[in-house]
Amino acid sequence: MLGAETEGMIGYLIEQELENALGHDHAVATLLTQVIVDRADPAFGKPTKFVGPVYTQDEAQARAKAAGWTIAQDGQYWRRVVPSPKPVEIPDLRVVRLLLDQDVTVICAGGGGIPVMRRSDGSMIGVEAVIDKDAASALLAANIGVDALLLLTDVDAVYTGFGSDAATALHQLSPAQGRALDMPSGSMGPKLKAACDFADRGGIAGIGRLADALRLLAGTAGTRICVKSKQ
């Protein structure tokens, strides 16, 4: 429920700004997007995704005991953690395609989408989890057959030795080269994995700053990930 609320709230802001920028001459729509996860995903046995506010250790333990939470230390404080299962299917894909066929710019899968499970009778039900947004974006991009996937952040490229004097920007990578890099799981790691997964299907993925989006498409900024035959 909170995921759906957040997706709608942020989607509204993006939709309004796009409409204002385009002079209301182009249709823009925000779609609350359900994303199916597998109930057998091992992530459900090892919650890792931080959600909600921070607490002292004593308060976190008391809340966890009362509500059945799993908690973990986050810096000097403690927070609730929930599973982060792999996205398997986007059942709202046919709605996305209908909108795209009508030349509508679609804002969807925000925050990784709303995690749901399919029950034995085919119906769906929500589940407490947070899907990685980069993985959901890569799945969406592959399923609608786009040519390029941009993962936009506040860092201008993928770096080795990030934050050190030996930091080096990587501008061209193959999926195999990208997977061989050891990147932080809480930041660049998921972005690089999603980019490699998408590039393996024949597309071009780019990682870099929002302000460099057009240059990322042109291959003159950020990090581009594609199979060698596409470089």
Whether 136 and 181 map to the same domain: the answer is no
Residue 231 pLDDT: 42
Boundary residue ending a domain (111, 126, 146): 146
Residue 183 pLDDT: 87
Q: Which residue has the higher pLDDT, 185 or 44?
A: 44
Residue 108 pLDDT: 96
100 is a domain residue: yes
Euclidean distance between CA atoms 159 and 208, whole angstroms: 11
Residue 227 pLDDT: 87
N- to C-terminal Cα distance for the chain?
42
Residue 167 pLDDT: 87
Whether 114 and 205 map to the same domain: the answer is no
165 is a domain residue: yes
182 is a domain residue: yes
Going by the DSSP 8-state scheme, the letter that residue 44 receives in this structure is: G
Whether 154 and 225 map to the same domain: the answer is yes
55 is a domain residue: no
Boundary residue ending a domain (146, 181, 199): 146
Whether 115 and 163 map to the same domain: the answer is no
Checking if the pLDDT of 111 tops 60, the result is: yes
**pTM: predicted TM-score of the whole model, two decimal places:** 0.87
Checking if the pLDDT of 110 tops 50, the result is: yes
Whether 151 and 192 map to the same domain: the answer is yes
148-153 and 204-209 as β-strands: parallel, antiparallel, unpaired? parallel
Beta carbons of 110 and 32 less than 8 angstroms apart: no
Kindly state the percentage of the chain with pLDDT values over 70.
98
Euclidean distance between CA atoms 167 and 206, whole angstroms: 19
Domains identified in the chain, total number: 2
Whether 93 and 171 map to the same domain: the answer is no
Q: Containing domain of residue 200, as a range?
A: 147-231
60 is a domain residue: no
Residue 229 pLDDT: 44
Residue 23 pLDDT: 87
Nearest C-alpha neighbor of 123 from the set 88, 86, 91: 91
Boundary residue ending a domain (146, 175, 193): 146
For residue 195, give the CATH number of its domain. Answer: 3.40.1160.10
Q: Give strand ranges (E) for 141-203.
A: 148-153, 158-160, 168-170, 172-173
158-160 and 223-225 as β-strands: parallel, antiparallel, unpaired? unpaired
Whether 156 and 193 map to the same domain: the answer is yes
Q: What is the mean pLDDT of residues 71-89?
A: 94
Instruction: Please give the structure tokens belonging to residue 73.
Output: 């230390």
62 is a domain residue: no
Whether 113 and 186 map to the same domain: the answer is no
Residue 123 pLDDT: 95
pLDDT in tens, 15-35: 999 999 998 889 999 999 999
Whether 139 and 156 map to the same domain: the answer is no
Residue 66 pLDDT: 97
Total count of residues recorded for the chain: 231
